[in-house]
Chain A
């Protein structure tokens, strides 16, 4: 299972763009990269998923370089409600393979 490394914490002001980078040097060919958001006392919530290049949805963008050994979650114009822990996970293809969580990045958005 690929191990991931993320910054422990980040601070940002409201309205700014936030980029959180995750390292996953041992990512396997079949692995997808998935980002989750977790608020206190709630289960993680899916944000975005990608395999390579760039993926964008209504809440975030995910940038993945050609070697796929890292990925960057980009949150445009964050608000106070984006204060949460963000987890980067790698895995996929097999339904029997659990996703292992790293320590995550605690994002604090300040007014």
Chain B
């Protein structure tokens, strides 16, 4: 099946620094990718929809200047957490839907755990 890969899987950073998380579709092209975040024992919360070649669409309450999303190619989307603070510590997960898919099945990355000290 289709594979979505995230990097890094874990990252620890100091408060105030920026962290970039990459999401790649390894064997298919993804015009649209989605970014979720998940707190412990909670469900996934949609943050934004990343569209190749255009601006991302953010969900209500998600700061677009804090969570920068870039989808420069059909196989790569990046999420940059700018000026990270401890409350940004979370599990970030990306997903993608392959081209030509009409059933809504999403392929998810392995997730990236961010810890801000």
Contact = CB atoms under 8 A, between A and B. Distances in A.
Given A95-B31, A95-B97, A96-B51, A31 B104 contact: yes
Contact of A92 (B6, B91, B103, B113): B103
A101 B44 CA distance: 6
Contact of A104 (B1, B43, B95, B102): B43
Interface stretch (A13-21, A41-49, A59-67, A68-76): A41-49
B108 interface: yes
Chain A, interface SS category: loop
Interface residues of A, number: 26
B106 A99 contact: yes
Nearest to A102: B43
Given A41-B91, A42-B111, A43-B111, A103 B32 contact: no
Interface string B1-25: 1001010000000000000000000
Contacts of A101: 36, 43-46
Nearest to A45: B108
A46 B1 CA distance: 10
Nearest to B113: A41
Contacts, number: 71
Contacts of A95: 31-32, 97, 99, 101-102
A45 B2 CA distance: 11
A103 B43 CA distance: 5
Contacts of B43: 87, 101-104
7 contacts: A31-B104, A41-B113, A42-B110, A44-B44, A46-B106, A49-B103, A99-B95
Given A91-B104, A93-B103, A99-B106, 18 more contacts: A32-B104, A32-B105, A34-B103, A41-B91, A43-B109, A44-B108, A45-B108, A92-B103, A92-B104, A92-B105, A93-B104, A95-B101, A95-B102, A96-B49, A98-B49, A99-B104, A101-B43, A104-B43
Interface of B: 1, 4, 6, 31-32, 34, 36, 43-46, 49, 51, 91, 93, 95, 97, 99, 101-111, 113
